[in-house]
């Protein structure tokens, strides 16, 4: 099948006539080129009749500098749809839009999980989505000039399109950008924008007041808008919740992010492929090894079988990824109890065990948090002598006992149950519709885990269970994390028993790789949910499009629905149970 395929033979012509304009052959998956005005009915058909119930990834690409593309199809919006019941590969939809008026219909009516992702595409690419109820900037502020992911947008100290910059390599000279540009010239505002008079709009949802309502003797109440964050310990970083309260009850909530945004993806398109590996450490900075793994697998899929990792490297990758899952969940449980008011004691217990795992990471990679350990075709280096024995002692003896200890002290605790059971309700249907993944989804009773649904690396060799609890509340999300640590222990015991001797690096290695022209979307079950990388290669040593699908960011789509109707104190633990890291939210 190709773009030249006749219209009558294209798929879905009977179901939604004229929806599919062409079928594009991909390196992993074929893509359906969809007419913009037919996108909503086609997506509805795929959801209702073919079971593609989750919109996992929505992003855009600017093909301004790509061979074969014109002004008429400069922009492309890409959708990856999955079935949570069947698992397997995605259905990929692409909508091509012209340079002068890039407009696509919003998919929120079909997949509410498109909400934040469409706002991101508008913010960074300037693509408008008709029908979106709140299409405004999300990572940048309203005074930002332009849409920075466009290929013709240049920052004030722009030097070159891609790295390595010639001023550093091979010529080896450099002048400070600040010396070349007078102070103050690095700020540009949109036409007609005055920062002196601008005020941030307050986003509220008009809801009826709970008090008064004409009832004699009832207390009349006024709704109050409160900012929680961005500098507040309960928001887990520089994150703001604009909360509308009626008394202590949350009547509306709007997540505000972007305070940590540094355009990770723009940096990624300037870097060579290998340069991006240490940048992935800085996404979910509690889960560095998992970030490395997700990116390495994505690039390996671009490169093909030549970069298939050897056996020992695959086992080391799984060991590092499952240790990372335990690291993440320990920290998540500790901070969650902190949010509940158990001031620091549970957190210190969990951090103590986390530090022992970080000792292993440091011995293997040279760093405790920013590990930069994975490489295309394997890992950077083998573990030192005695490392595996130290890991076995931790996995077989200490960690299982400490997880049991946490379970014993916390799970049946009366205060924990009183505060958590029934709070932050999210039904299975809503969790899927809102594109939630990871413990957020499995805490709503949906047993969907990418390690089982679409196995990667060597996960199909291990015996483990997908943990799900159907309480649909913050308590169930806590239980998922406790049990997932036990399942990670189970995987680690098998991997440590089976790991062979041998090389730890496949492929050609080297500083630069040049994948063939094409695009791939690859994902893993990271500790917080689906971490995906969408890469477009133009055949050079730098990714043409580098997209991160961050679970922390997309799981926040469910924050407002879970909080409305709960108390203001509950909103803190609802956010804590999502388990966000702002490096991954903002990128």
- Structural domain spans, the chain: 7-130, 264-585
Is the confidence at residue 119, as pLDDT, over 90? yes
Residue 507: its pLDDT value, please?
A: 73
- For residues 402 and 416, what is the distance between their CA atoms, to the nearest angstrom? 19
* Percent of all residues in the chain with a pLDDT value above 70, rounded to a whole number: 93
- For residues 413 and 415, what is the distance between their CA atoms, to the nearest angstrom? 6
Bigger pLDDT: 330 vs 220: 330
- For residues 32 and 217, what is the distance between their CA atoms, to the nearest angstrom? 62
CA-based max dimension of the chain: 82
| Model pLDDT for residues 259-273, shown as the tens digit of each residue | 899 999 999 999 999
- For residues 239 and 229, what is the distance between their CA atoms, to the nearest angstrom? 6
Residues contacting 75, CB < 8 A, separation 6+: 60, 61, 62, 63, 96, 97, 98, 99, 102, 125, 127
Residue 228: its pLDDT value, please?
A: 85
Residue 488: its pLDDT value, please?
A: 96
7-130 topology per CATH? Beta Polymerase; domain 2 (3.30.460)
pTM value is 0.90
Residue 233: its pLDDT value, please?
A: 77
- For residues 81 and 107, what is the distance between their CA atoms, to the nearest angstrom? 12
- For residues 83 and 94, what is the distance between their CA atoms, to the nearest angstrom? 18
Average confidence (pLDDT) over 485-489 = 96
Q: What pLDDT band is residue 201 in, cutting at 50, 70 and 90?
A: low
Report the 10 Å Cβ neighbour count for 320: 25
Q: What pLDDT band is residue 219 in, cutting at 50, 70 and 90?
A: low
- For residues 364 and 101, what is the distance between their CA atoms, to the nearest angstrom? 51
3-class secondary-structure state, position 550: coil
The stretches of 421-548 forming alpha helices (DSSP H) are 428-433, 439-442, 450-453, 474-498
Q: What pLDDT band is residue 340 in, cutting at 50, 70 and 90?
A: confident
Bigger pLDDT: 261 vs 176: 261
**Exposed, middle or buried, 452 (CB in 10 Å: 0-12/13-18/19+)?**
middle
264-585: what CATH class?
mainly alpha
Residue 213: its pLDDT value, please?
A: 44
124 φ, ψ to 5°?
-90, -25
Taking each continuous run of H as one helix and of E as one strand, the counts in the chain are 19, 15
Residue 525: its pLDDT value, please?
A: 95
- For residues 448 and 450, what is the distance between their CA atoms, to the nearest angstrom? 7
3-class secondary-structure state, position 403: helix
Residue 207: its pLDDT value, please?
A: 42
The stretches of 366-446 forming alpha helices (DSSP H) are 387-393, 399-410, 414-420, 428-433, 439-442
Residue 505: its pLDDT value, please?
A: 87
Q: What is the DSSP letter of 270?
A: H
Q: What is the DSSP letter of 307?
A: G
| Model pLDDT for residues 526-568, shown as the tens digit of each residue | 999 999 999 999 999 999 999 999 999 999 999 999 998 888 8
| Model pLDDT for residues 291-320, shown as the tens digit of each residue | 999 999 999 999 988 889 999 999 999 999
Residue 1: its pLDDT value, please?
A: 38
- For residues 444 and 76, what is the distance between their CA atoms, to the nearest angstrom? 33
Mean residue pLDDT of the chain comes to 89
């Amino acid at each position: 099948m190709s773009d030249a395929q006749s219209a009558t033979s294209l798929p879905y012509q009977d179901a939604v006539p004229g929806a599919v304009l062409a079928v594009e052959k991909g390196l992993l998956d074929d893509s359906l080129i969809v007419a913009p005005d037919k996108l909503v009915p086609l997506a509805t058909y795929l959801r209702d009749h073919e079971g593609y119930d989750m919109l996992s990834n929505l992003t855009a690409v600017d093909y301004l500098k790509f061979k074969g593309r014109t002004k008429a199809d400069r922009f492309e919006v890409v959708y990856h749809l999955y079935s949570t019941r069947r698992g397997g590969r995605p259905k990929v939809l692409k909508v091509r839009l012209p340079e002068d008026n890039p407009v696509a219909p919003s998919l929120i009516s079909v997949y509410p999980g498109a909400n934040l992702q469409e706002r991101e595409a508008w913010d960074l690419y300037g693509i408008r989505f008709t029908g979106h109820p709140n299409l405004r900037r999300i990572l940048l502020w309203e005074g930002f000039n332009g849409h920075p992911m466009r290929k013709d947008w240049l920052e004030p100290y722009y030097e070159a399109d891609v790295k390595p910059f010639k001023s550093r390599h091979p010529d080896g000279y450099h002048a400070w950008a600040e010396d070349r540009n007078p102070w103050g010239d690095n700020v540009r505002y949109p036409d007609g924008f005055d920062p002196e008079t601008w005020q941030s709009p307050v986003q509220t949802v008009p809801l009826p007041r709970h008090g008064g309502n004409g009832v004699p003797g009832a207390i009349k109440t006024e709704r109050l808008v409160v900012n929680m964050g961005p500098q507040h310990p309960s928001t887990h970083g520089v994150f703001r919740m604009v909360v509308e309260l009626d008394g202590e009850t949350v009547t509306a909530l709007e997540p505000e992010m972007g305070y940590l945004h540094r355009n990770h993806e723009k940096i990624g398109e300037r870097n060579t492929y290998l340069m991006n590996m240490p940048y992935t450490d800085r996404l979910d900075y509690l889960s560095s090894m998992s970030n490395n793994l997700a990116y390495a697998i994505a690039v390996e899929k671009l490169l093909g079988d030549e970069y298939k990792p050897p056996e020992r490297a695959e086992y080391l990758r799984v060991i590092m990824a499952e240790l990372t899952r335990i690291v993440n969940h320990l920290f998540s449980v500790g901070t969650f109890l902190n949010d509940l008011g158990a001031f620091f004691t549970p957190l210190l217990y969990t951090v103590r065990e986390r530090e022992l795992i970080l000792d292993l990471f440091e011995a293997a990679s040279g760093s405790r948090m920013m590990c930069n350990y994975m490489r295309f075709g394997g890992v950077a280096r083998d573990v030192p002598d005695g490392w595996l024995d130290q890991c076995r002692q931790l996995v077989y003896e200490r960690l299982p006992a400490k997880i049991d200890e946490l379970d014993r002290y916390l799970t049946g605790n009366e205060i924990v149950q009183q505060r958590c059971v029934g709070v932050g309700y999210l039904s299975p249907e809503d969790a899927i519709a809102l594109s939630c993944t990871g413990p957020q989804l499995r805490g709503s009773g949906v047993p969907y885990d990418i390690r089982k649904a679409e196995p990667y690396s060597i996960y199909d060799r291990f015996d483990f269970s997908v943990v799900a609890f159907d309480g649909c509340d913050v308590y169930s999300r806590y239980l998922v994390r406790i049990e997932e640590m036990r399942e990670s222990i189970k995987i680690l015991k098998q991997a440590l028993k089976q790991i062979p001797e041998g090389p730890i690096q496949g492929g050609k290695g080297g500083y630069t790789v040049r994948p063939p022209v094409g695009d791939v979307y690859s994902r893993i079950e990271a500790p917080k949910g689906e971490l995906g990388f969408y890469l477009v290669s133009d055949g050079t040593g730098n990714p043409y499009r580098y997209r991160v699908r961050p679970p922390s960011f997309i799981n926040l789509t469910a924050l407002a629905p879970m909080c409305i109707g709960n108390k203001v104190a509950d909103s803190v633990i609802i956010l804590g149970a999502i388990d966000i890291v702002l490096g991954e939210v903002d990128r």
